[in-house]
Amino acid sequence: MITNQPSIILVNPQLGENIGMVARAMLNCGLTDLRIVNPRDGWPSDRANSASSGAFEYGVVPTLFNTTTDAVADLHFTYATTARPRVMVKDVYTPHAAMEKTHTQLNDGNKVGILFGAERTGLENIDIAMANAIITVPLNPDFSSLNLAQAVLLVAYEFMIHGDDTPDTQTHTGKTDLANRDMVMQFTDRLIQSLETKDFFKSAERRPTIERSLTNLFYRQNWTNQDVKTLHGILSAFIKD
Amino acid sequence: MITNQPSIILVNPQLGENIGMVARAMLNCGLTDLRIVNPRDGWPSDRANSASSGAFEYGVVPTLFNTTTDAVADLHFTYATTARPRVMVKDVYTPHAAMEKTHTQLNDGNKVGILFGAERTGLENIDIAMANAIITVPLNPDFSSLNLAQAVLLVAYEFMIHGDDTPDTQTHTGKTDLANRDMVMQFTDRLIQSLETKDFFKSAERRPTIERSLTNLFYRQNWTNQDVKTLHGILSAFIKD
């Protein structure tokens, strides 16, 4: 669990379902500090609990506030999320850049919060004015209205993957290991010899080209030990007759 | 709208609401090719329409298929999304790396599809076996089950932001422009002179240090022309008496 993490602040959220889905998205990304300002349908909420898929039991701690001012009082830096350009002077960050900065801020011992507005209306101008900076997700400009939990997810995801050390690509081999080149070579040689007995190569002239194609066809794959065994079995079945 | 884009393939989705939310998340990120394999609750779906926030009217084209095989027939490369490690040999990509590769594949003229399984059970092993590679989102290992639309959103988002040219940070100034340094200097000088008349600096010895602090305090902000006007107004109000 992340101990040094930004707070997610929902300002005047309407539907309990959405609060629950926000909690689920937060915990998917390891975040647990959920601050709820004046929720329309009250709190606690059965609908929130059932939409959360257990997020409140497994770690998300919801805290209720009457005003945004109360909810951010102990924080040192707040971001307001909004898709709409406002007539207001403020630094605008992508989620990626904002969460990169957030990691630095948290490491410096400062507390960071991210404000999300109500489902249909978004944040009020005064809430945006009181924030240090704005986060805007660079979405399809013709269809940019994100569901509340989706907006929280994207920001939480960017926080989580910043500094995540998962390799971009890895080959999952299950219970077996990748075959070494010698095993691949032995199989390919056996295949070529077997094809020779079947008169596959027709002319001696074209043979080097065909051999090279076959070699490339088999050598460029990521075979496992088990794969090569299976290939040998297939070959044995064909040359038996 | 993106013309060269991956197809989103939902295999045996259960709830119409989720299909609608998938469509909304897709269009948020500019994707429009939605392939639906054998949806449990039938198709078309009123619940899907109402959860889509208009995504089907504004661009997402849903196509129905009976089998996964039919749904991927025209594609050249498919990714299976799964959180669970399987006993299966397959390359595993982060969403970021997979969508980077997808851009390359699309630019090469190949069609790419991304498979998502049913809400509770995920993809069947056979669907995963038939894919070229796996996408796994590096989530909180203790709470990694993503809502279907959330999973689609993260992949679609990574596709969209790859190559997006939105600057990481920009200062949104609304209708006014940033003040130039000369305006900031003139205001700061006027303030310092005014403070002098109020006997603010007490000792001549400490004055350079205090002046430098004041200068830094005002110079490091991103004032607009309007801000500087307002500051002059405030100063005038105080020195009037």
Task: For residues B6-32, give the mean pLDDT.
Answer: 97
Place of tokens 């959405």: A18
DSSP chain A: --SS-PEEEEES---HHHHHHHHHHHHHTT--EEEEES-TT-SS-HHHHHHTTTHHHHT-EEEEESSHHHHHTT-SEEEEE-SS--SS-EEEE-HHHHHHHHHHHHHTT--EEEEE-BTTTBS-HHHHHTSSEEE-----TTS----HHHHHHHHHHHHHHTT----SEEEE-TTS-BPPHHHHHHHHHHHHHHHHHTTTT--TTTHHHHHHHHHHHHHTS--BHHHHHHHHHHHHHHH--
Q: Would the pLDDT of B143 be above 60? A: yes
Query: Dihedral sign, CA of B184, B186, B189, B190?
Result: negative
Q: Would the pLDDT of A123 be above 50? A: yes
Shortest CB distance from B89 goes to which of A27, A166, A224? Answer: A224
pLDDT band at B212 (very low <50, low <70, confident <90, very high): confident
Set of chain B residues whose Cβ sits within 8 Å of the Cβ of A58: 142-143
pLDDT band at B87 (very low <50, low <70, confident <90, very high): low
Write the pLDDT tens digit of every residue in A161-191: 987 778 888 877 666 788 888 889 999 999 9
- Picking from A32, A89, A227 by the largest number of B CB atoms within 10 A of its own CB, the best residue to mutate is A89
Q: Would the pLDDT of B117 be above 90? A: yes
Average pLDDT, chain A: 90
What share of chain A has pLDDT > 90, as a percent? 59
What is the structure's pLDDT at A1? 45
What is the structure's pLDDT at B2? 53
What is the structure's pLDDT at A201? 87
Three-state helix/strand/coil letters over B168-210:
CEEEECCCCCECCHHHHHHHHHHHHHHHHHCCCCCCCCCHHHH
Shortest CB distance from A90 goes to which of B90, B149, B172? Answer: B172
- Taking an 8 Å cut-off on Cβ atoms, the answer to whether B91 and A153 are in contact is no
What is the structure's pLDDT at B213? 86
Longest Cα–Cα distance of chain B, Å, equals 87
What is the structure's pLDDT at A211? 87
Higher pLDDT, B221 or B29: B29
What is the structure's pLDDT at A113? 96
Nearest Cα of chain B lies from the Cα of A71 at a distance, in angstroms, of 25
CB A38 within 8 A of CB A68: no
Nearest Cα of chain B lies from the Cα of A241 at a distance, in angstroms, of 31
pLDDT band at B3 (very low <50, low <70, confident <90, very high): low
What share of chain B has pLDDT > 90, as a percent? 59
What's the ipTM? 0.83
Higher pLDDT, A157 or A89: A157
Set of chain B residues whose Cβ sits within 8 Å of the Cβ of A86: 172, 174
Amino acid at A68: T
Shortest CB distance from A146 goes to which of B28, B146, B173? Answer: B28
Write the pLDDT tens digit of every residue in A20-60: 999 999 999 999 999 999 999 999 999 999 999 999 999 99
What is the structure's pLDDT at B37? 98
Lowest mean pLDDT among A112-116, A207-211, B162-166: B162-166
Set of chain B residues whose Cβ sits within 8 Å of the Cβ of A222: 89, 91
- Picking from A140, A142, A175, A229 by the largest number of B CB atoms within 10 A of its own CB, the best residue to mutate is A140
